[in-house]
Amino acid sequence: MTEKIGLVGGTFDPPHIAHLILGEHGREELHLDRIFYIPAGTPPHKDHTRTSDQHRATMTQIAIGDNPHFELCRVDLDRPGPHYTIDTVEILRAQYPNADFTFIMGEDMFRDLPNWRRADGLFTDGRIKVAVMRRLGVKGELRADQHEHALPGLARNVIMLKSPLVEISSTDVVRRLRHGESVKYLVTEPVLTYIRQNRLYEEEA
């Protein structure tokens, strides 16, 4: 029996409410069985993360812990980097050979797809679908076929989700924390408690 699994990736530094909305709305609209939250290990586009892998994994687990459909996936944390999405997906395909995967992402990530390593082999063969949520504040038209010139065949595997993604960024959450501004309702209370207990984001990384 095929299991339908959604994949939500990111540094989650820290995880915030928009990450949770992305997974929950995507799960509901696409009728998915589970959502895997995949903290990035060594993102190829970043020199470092603000906090350690352990802190990011723990915060992610805390954030998703009250949703029975959400799971922490350590596939990128437990192997050496740099980490590319195509390698992550191939590992998950081997671990879950009967699963049907959908990569759930925001509009800004979708616009950058042609720059992903081996994106043509990742998304155009039909083995993994892409579900995209529109982000507030992102200008320009959003279409399933807008990358067809760079990634022929991608459009038939793209699903445009109806639910908008709330405009929250980890960068803004960290900025507010460092300026003593409220992040209530931007991150969950348990995540905020963890941040305060471990004195995270108090200084520039």
* Strands of 128-133's sheet in order across: 70-72, 34-39, 3-10, 99-106, 128-133, 158-160
In a domain, 17, yes or no: yes
Indicate the DSSP class of residue 78.
T
Quick check: is 21 in a domain?
A: yes
- For the entire predicted model, the pTM comes to 0.92
Asked whether residue 176 is assigned to any structural domain, the reply reads yes
SS3 199: coil
Mind listing the pLDDT tens digit of every residue in the chain (205 residues)? 899 999 999 999 999 999 999 999 999 999 999 999 999 986 655 567 899 999 999 999 999 999 999 999 999 999 987 788 889 999 999 999 999 999 999 888 898 999 988 888 888 777 889 999 876 655 667 889 999 999 998 999 999 998 766 788 999 999 999 999 999 999 999 999 999 999 999 876 5
- Sign of the Cα torsion 105, 108, 110, 113 reads negative
The CATH number of the domain holding residue 19 is: 3.40.50.620
Classify burial at 186, counting beta carbons within 10 Å of its beta carbon; exposed 0-12, middle 13-18, buried 19 or more.
buried
The angle subtended at Cα 56 by Cα 33 and Cα 202, nearest 5°, is 145
Q: How confident is the model at residue 191, as a pLDDT?
A: 98
Can you name the residues that pair with 184 across neighbouring β-strands? 187
19 domain-assigned: yes
pLDDT score at 141: 75
Within a domain: 202: no
User: Which 8-state DSSP code applies to residue 163?
Assistant: S
Q: Please return the burial class of 61, using the count of CB atoms within 10 Å of its CB with bins 0-12, 13-18 and 19+.
A: buried
Question: Residue 126 falls within a domain, yes or no?
Answer: yes
The rounded distance, in Å, linking the Cα atoms of 166 and 35 is: 18
What pLDDT score does 140 carry? Answer: 65
Residue reference for tokens 């982000």: 135
Tell me if 161 is assigned to some domain.
yes
Three-state DSSP class for 203? coil
CA-CA distance, 202 to 205, in Å (whole number)?
A: 9
CA distance 31 to 46: 33
Other C-beta atoms lying within 10 Å of the C-beta of residue 74: 15
Structure tokens given for 203: 């200084």
Looking at residue 137, its pLDDT comes to 57
93 neighbors 101 (Cβ within 8 angstroms)? yes
At residue 44, the pLDDT reads 59
Q: Based on the structure, what is the number of domains in the chain?
A: 1
Structural domain including 193 reads 3-197
pLDDT of residue 196: 96
Encoding tokens for residue 137? 């504040």
204: in domain: no
DSSP notation for 90-108: HHHHHH-TTEEEEEEEEHH
